[in-house]
Amino acid sequence: MTRVLLKLSGEALMGASPFGIDLPTTREYAREIAECARDGASIAIVVGGGNIFRGMAGAAKGMDRASADYMGMLATVMNSLAVAQALRDAGVAARPMSAIPMESICETYTRYRADEYLKSGEIVVLGGGTGSPFFTTDSTAALRAAELGCSAILKATQVDGVYDSDPKTNPAATRFETLTYGEVLARDLRVMDSAAIALARDSGIPIIVFDIHRDGALADVLAGRGRFTRVAG
Ligand SMILES: Nc1ncnc2c1ncn2[C@@H]1O[C@H](COP(=O)(O)OP(=O)(O)OP(=O)(O)O)[C@@H](O)[C@H]1O
Ligand SMILES: O=c1ccn([C@@H]2O[C@H](COP(=O)(O)O)[C@@H](O)[C@H]2O)c(=O)[nH]1
């Protein structure tokens, strides 16, 4: 069975709203993820928090960086509860787990338990990032992919791959089909942070960057079809 780590951008959960969680959008992603799970994929999800809070933004406004980052991590726990609930509503077993203990809300992440749940066919939805400030959920995705033995990191985001500059600010940006980890780092292509790229490289885990907004995108990526950028060695 293919085991993959799906990194779901927090911003993707906003739908057309300016911030927060748009339930119809979240349910639509959940339906697609559930279908892939029913088709046999074993899926661990790391959820971002950019739709609710970004630590750097808080720090820029005068908060101390670590406190702002903890607020960001709490935002990812809220998102993971919403995603796990939407997955259950879509008919699959899904379990939110948090890197930061908050036992009346959800189970604390341990590698052993997450691995057991995945083996039994559940989807684990990992909130709280790494549990440490000064990191991101992209780094969390690379870390969890390595410790859970995932064959790929699927970065579900707002754009359909890695470009030579940010396509949201440069309409003339051109997309890559494939890149090496070294090229992403050397060219400072900021679709993921450099710590995440370095960790994926050191663990030999390919990263697939794709647009989550397209219908059927996840099933296509799992089948090696569709439009995406593959970052590997
Ligand atoms: N070279 C590049 N190629 C592609 N996208 C890029 C590049 N540089 C910057 N980006 C931007 O990176 C963004 C991907 O980040 P994403 O929204 O997935 O953020 P995240 O921090 O991983 O998640 P969250 O939304 O939870 O904070 C894209 O929306 C895109 O605009
Ligand atoms: O390990 C981690 C993960 C996240 N954070 C903080 O949370 C926000 C939201 O995560 P995104 O990856 O930007 O979606 C992030 O900006 C950090 O402030 C963290 O501190 N440690």
Q: Which phi and psi angles does 185 have, rounded to 5°?
A: -70, -45
Is residue 179 one of the residues assigned to a domain?
yes
Domain ranges, residue 72: 3-188+204-226
Is residue 193 one of the residues assigned to a domain?
no
Is residue 83 one of the residues assigned to a domain?
yes
ipTM of the complex: 0.95
CA distance 193 to 144: 15
Is residue 45 one of the residues assigned to a domain?
yes
Q: What is the mean pLDDT of the chain?
A: 96
Mean per-residue pLDDT, 103-108: 97
Please name every residue paired with 229 in a beta bridge, in sequence order, or none if there are none.
209
Task: Give residue ranges with CB within 6 A of ligand 1.
Answer: 9-11, 48-50, 137-138, 157-159, 162-163, 165-168, 189-191
In the reported structure, the alpha carbon of residue 119 is separated from the centroid of ligand 1 by a whole-number distance in angstroms of: 31
Is residue 232 one of the residues assigned to a domain?
no
Query: H-type helices in 131-230, by residue range?
Result: 137-147, 181-186, 194-203, 217-222
pLDDT of res. 44: 98
CA distance 181 to 199: 10
Q: In total, how many domains does the chain have?
A: 1
The reply to whether 40 sits in an annotated binding site is no
In the reported structure, the alpha carbon of residue 45 is separated from the centroid of ligand 2 by a whole-number distance in angstroms of: 15
Q: What percent of the chain has pLDDT over 90?
A: 92
| 137 and 49 Cβ atoms separated by less than 8 Å | yes
User: pLDDT grade, residue 59 (50/70/90)?
Assistant: confident
Is residue 141 one of the residues assigned to a domain?
yes
Identify the residue whose tokens are 């050397």.
Answer: 186
The reply to whether 194 sits in an annotated binding site is no
Is residue 145 one of the residues assigned to a domain?
yes
In the reported structure, the alpha carbon of residue 225 is separated from the centroid of ligand 2 by a whole-number distance in angstroms of: 30
Is residue 51 one of the residues assigned to a domain?
yes
55 has a pLDDT exceeding 80: no
Which run of H or of E encompasses 13? Answer: none
Mean per-residue pLDDT, 84-97: 98
pLDDT of res. 35: 98
